[in-house]
């Protein structure tokens, strides 16, 4: 069984990915901003058969029992601090995959978006993903692991009022493409989900002034299934890009 680090683990898609990977018996390192919410999630996941939870101890895998679920609070709006936080926690020696699922979105016309709006999108959605990947590369190389970026349909086309988010996601695709070419031993995947029923989508609908009905959108568990399917692809092949849209 492998070890996977998930950013945005407290979010809709990240939590669903964590649940699927836990069900398959993998060890998890869950990251998000709130230590309390991470602890709640780890406790919930830990209720699975034979699972154990352990907070803030990356790299000290337990010997007995089922999958270990560990947590580390990381604020991706401060990418310069990520290295110190990881060093404090003890970086994993070996990592079978990282799933970059954290993200933020604030809609607005270019006329309305201020520098801080742009910095927030680019920092959390792009710069932190690049910096975290850099810091985890030794562990990923050791396992010939997977780097999976949860992108967005907005990373492929920018609609009115979506400029900052779309630009951050277009940049994330470029990050993935360069990394894939630089690190041939790793598998690098970009997943482009369409609108998915999570708190982010509820927020988007509110920002659009439109009602939110989760049944109108993709189920995060379906998107997670696509993500885990890419991670589980046999080693003779790599899934480079997948688009998944609500149907
Ligand atoms: N939902 C959609 O319709 C949709 C469509 C296409 C793509 N996506 C992408 O899918 C990914 C997951 O989104 P989701 O729908 O699951 O959204 P979500 O439920 O709102 O979850 C977002 C996650 O990002 C984390 N996050 C936000 N700011 C952070 C920060 N500064 N530092 C650390 N973590 C931070 C949140 O952690 P906290 O718990 O600390 O807030 C949360 O875990 C995102 O990259 C999003 O862009 C979503």
Q: Answer whether residue 58 shows pLDDT above 50.
A: no
Distance 103 CA to ligand 1 centre (A): 4
Q: Answer whether residue 62 shows pLDDT above 60.
A: no
Of 122, 130, 239, nearest to 188 by C-alpha is: 239
Protein residue whose Cα sits closest to atom 5 of ligand 1: 195
Q: Answer whether residue 56 shows pLDDT above 80.
A: no
For residue 104 and ligand 1, the question of a CB distance below 6 A is answered with: yes
As a whole number of angstroms, the distance between CA 54 and CA 40 comes to 12
Using pLDDT thresholds of 50, 70 and 90, give the confidence band for residue 48: low
pTM to 2 decimal places: 0.95
Q: Answer whether residue 55 shows pLDDT above 60.
A: no
Window from 81-85, 91-95, 98-102, 171-175 with minimum mean pLDDT = 91-95
Protein residue whose Cα sits closest to atom 18 of ligand 1: 11
As a whole number of angstroms, the distance between CA 27 and CA 25 comes to 7
For residue 18 and ligand 1, the question of a CB distance below 6 A is answered with: no
For residue 11 and ligand 1, the question of a CB distance below 6 A is answered with: yes
Q: How many Å from the N-terminal Cα to the C-terminal Cα in the chain?
A: 33
Spell out the domain ranges in the chain. Answer: 3-244
Ligand 1 pocket mutation pick from 10, 86, 103, 212 by most atoms within 8 angstroms of CB: 103
Using pLDDT thresholds of 50, 70 and 90, give the confidence band for residue 91: confident
Distance 101 CA to ligand 1 centre (A): 6
Higher pLDDT, 124 or 1: 124
The chain-wide mean pLDDT, for the chain, equals 93
Using pLDDT thresholds of 50, 70 and 90, give the confidence band for residue 57: very low
**pLDDT number for residue 65:** 64
**pLDDT number for residue 47:** 74
Distance 210 CA to ligand 1 centre (A): 20
Protein residue whose Cα sits closest to atom 46 of ligand 1: 103
C-alpha radius of gyration, the chain, whole number: 17
Using pLDDT thresholds of 50, 70 and 90, give the confidence band for residue 52: low
Q: Between 128-143 and 82-89, two packed helices, what is the crossing angle to 10 degrees?
A: 40
For residue 224 and ligand 1, the question of a CB distance below 6 A is answered with: no
Q: Answer whether residue 54 shows pLDDT above 90.
A: no
H or E element, residue 58: none
Residue-by-residue DSSP string for 71-139: EEE--TT-GGGHHHHHHHH---S--SEEEE---------TTT--HHHHHHHHIIIIIHHHHHHHHHHHH
Q: Which fold has domain 3-244?
A: Rossmann fold (3.40.50)
Of 205, 188, 187, nearest to 196 by C-alpha is: 205
As a whole number of angstroms, the distance between CA 232 and CA 230 comes to 5
Q: Coil, strand or helix: which one is 40?
A: helix
Distance 133 CA to ligand 1 centre (A): 17
As a whole number of angstroms, the distance between CA 88 and CA 91 comes to 8
Using pLDDT thresholds of 50, 70 and 90, give the confidence band for residue 201: very high
Q: What is the mean pLDDT of residues 80-108?
A: 96
pLDDT tens-place string over residues 117-149? 999 999 999 999 999 999 999 999 999 999 999
pLDDT tens-place string over residues 213-236? 999 999 999 999 999 999 999 999
Q: What is the mean pLDDT of residues 186-210?
A: 98
Q: Answer whether residue 51 shows pLDDT above 90.
A: no
As a whole number of angstroms, the distance between CA 55 and CA 68 comes to 10
């Amino acid at each position: 069984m492998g070890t996977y680090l998930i950013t945005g683990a407290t979010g809709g898609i990240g939590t669903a990915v964590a649940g699927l990977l836990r069900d398959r018996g993998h060890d998890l390192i869950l990251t998000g901003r709130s230590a309390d919410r991470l602890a709640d999630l780890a406790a919930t996941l830990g209720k699975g058969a034979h699972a154990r939870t352990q907070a803030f101890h990356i790299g000290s895998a337990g010997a007995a029992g089922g999958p270990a679920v560990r947590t580390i609070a990381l604020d991706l709006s401060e990418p310069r601090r990520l290295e110190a936080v990881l060093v404090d926690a003890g970086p994993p020696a070996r990592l079978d995959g990282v799933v970059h699922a954290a993200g933020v979105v604030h809609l607005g016309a270019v006329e309305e978006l201020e520098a801080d709006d742009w910095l927030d999108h680019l920092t959390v959605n792009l710069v932190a993903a690049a910096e975290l990947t850099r810091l985890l590369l030794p562990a990923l190389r050791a396992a010939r692991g997977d780097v999976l970026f949860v992108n967005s349909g907005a990373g492929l086309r920018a609609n009115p009022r979506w400029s900052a988010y779309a630009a951050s996601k277009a940049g994330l695709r470029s990050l993935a493409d360069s990394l894939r070419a630089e690190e041939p031993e790793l598998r690098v995947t970009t997943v482009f989900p369409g609108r998915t029923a999570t708190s982010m989508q509820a927020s988007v609908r509110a920002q659009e002034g439109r009602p939110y009905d989760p049944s109108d959108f993709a189920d995060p568990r379906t998107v997670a299934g696509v993500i885990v399917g890419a991670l589980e692809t046999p080693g003779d092949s790599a899934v480079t890009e997948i688009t998944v849209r609500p149907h």
